[in-house]
Amino acid sequence: MAGEMAGNSTKKKISALVVDDDRLVRRIHGMLLTRFGMETNAVENGKEAVDLFASGKCYDLVFMDMEMPIMDGLKATQALREMGVSSTIVGVTSRTQEGETQAFMEAGLDACWEKPLTRDGIISLLDQVAKKLL
Amino acid sequence: MEIVGQLQKQYVEFSTSLYREGFLDEQFIQLQKLQDESNPDFVVEVVSIFFEDSEKLINDLATAIQQQVVDFKQVDAHVHQFKGSSSSIGANRVKNMCIALRSFCDEKNLDGCLRCLQQVKHEYFLVKNKLETLFRGISHLKENIDSFFSFLIHHFFRRKK
């Protein structure tokens, strides 16, 4: 499977975290990533994502929604980078205004995409992530 | 069996028309591709989530728009969410109506918002109806295929004896 890599005698799966307040998006993006062979988890807002990383959990890929209650994507991304998290963080947004996307990128994203996630986008990402992990 | 062929043809024609008329887009096809033997009800599951969430959003929108002093930011937040969920399901016409409604919110045009919300609701109930028909068609087809195979197996074993 695309999201799995052979290493010694065990296969390591690429781990992905979906951060979105919309349960429909969590379900759909979660399934898409799982079908690519990734170990997937999902949380409802930026604070839950930050707490996960703070507790020692690590994810190779983070799909971060921009607008969420409690802690939005921008603040969560800033917090994660300040903590020293070097995971690939992709902003996922339904807002297409230039200014907002730019501010989000400057918070520390590796890329910013429009919803919904697509197979092609994920395939191109997996290439980059695999190189990072090797 | 004749009926399976007929049902299949009807199903394909109906399904094709939904894309042709813009009710559904590519995203719905992507959802169908995510369904497999280990998740056989995935599409029905996500569409059900969409129906539940949408009906709540429509109520929230109606309430927000009927306030004495309309908070357009709040209205916009609800429309933004509805646009997001309709686009993740592939409900193309609903998504486009949400985009139009957001323009009226930006202009703080209350009349425009009220009229456009009616259209959003209309498009939502239309696509809901279409999807329910589609799923009924699938289960009808499945039942007929199942009974066709049961008939075949039963007939085969009877003949073997």
B133-140 own/partner pairs: CB under 8 Å, 24+ apart: B133/B14, B134/B11, B134/B14, B134/B15, B134/B18, B135/B44, B135/B47, B137/B7, B137/B10, B137/B11, B137/B14, B138/B11, B140/B7
The ipTM estimated for the assembled molecules is: 0.82
Q: Tell which of B88, B98, B102, B103 to mutate to test the A interface (max A CBs under 10 Å).
A: B88
In whole angstroms, what is the distance from residue B51 CA to residue B86 CA? 10
Contact B49 A118 (CB under 8 A): no
Set out the domains of chain A in order of their start, with CATH numbers.
15-124 (3.40.50.2300)
Q: Is A38 helix (H, G, I), strand (E, B) or coil?
A: coil
Residue A29: closest CA among chain B residues belongs to which residue? B88
Check: pTM over 0.90? Answer yes or no.
Answer: no
In whole angstroms, what is the distance from residue B153 CA to residue B136 CA? 26
- Phi and psi of A87, rounded to 5°? -60, 155
The whole-angstrom distance between residue A117's C-alpha and the CA centroid of its chain comes to: 11
Given B34, B42, B84, which is nearest A25 (Cβ)? B84
pLDDT tens digit sequence for A59-117: 999 999 998 989 999 999 999 999 999 999 999 987 666 678 899 999 999 999 988 88
pLDDT of residue A8: 47
3-state helix, strand, coil in chain B (%, to 5): 85, 0, 15
Residue A9 reports pLDDT greater than 70: no
CA-closest candidate to residue A92, choices A63, A122, A128: A63
Instruction: Name every residue in A having a CB less than 8 A away from some CB of B.
Output: 22-25, 27-28, 31-32, 35, 67, 94-95, 115-116, 118-119
Residue A50 reports pLDDT greater than 90: yes
Confidence of residue A7 (pLDDT cuts 50, 70, 90): very low
Do residues A72 and A48 lie in contact, with contact meaning Cβ atoms separated by under 8 Å? Answer: no
Confidence of residue A16 (pLDDT cuts 50, 70, 90): very high
